[in-house]
Amino acid sequence: MFTPVFKELLTKYLTVFSAVWAVRHKLNPIARNSNELAFLPAALELQENPPHPAARITLWALLAFILIAVNGACFRKCEGEVSNY
């Protein structure tokens, strides 16, 4: 089922994962106060101080509404009467 190349790749990934998992407690970010967080570069600020959860809830609510609307448009039976003028 597995070719030797695929087995070697899985072995390498397992080795790297095991090494990182062994030192995972040392990889925690540095504790920063609010003043330090305010002046971080944008990427680090988003990693260490994530946005408010209301934005994520709004996103999921809009996505659910769109999916419900698309499902309704796709699977609803057209019952209107067609007339010629």
What are the sequence ranges of the domains in the chain?
4-75
SS (H, E, C) 10-70: HHHHHHHHHHHHHCHHHHCCCCCCHHHHHCCCHHHHHHHCCCCHHHHHHHHHHHHHHHHHH
Q: Is the confidence at residue 80, as pLDDT, over 80?
A: no
Query: What phi and psi values does residue 2 have, to the nearest 5 degrees?
Result: -100, 135
pLDDT for residue 61: 98
Distance (Å, whole) CA 78 – CA 85? 20
Over residues 11-67, the pLDDT tens digits come to: 999 999 999 999 988 887 778 888 888 888 888 887 777 788 999 999 999 999 999
**Mean pLDDT for the stretch of residues 64-85:** 81
**Mean pLDDT for the stretch of residues 63-78:** 88
pLDDT for residue 60: 96
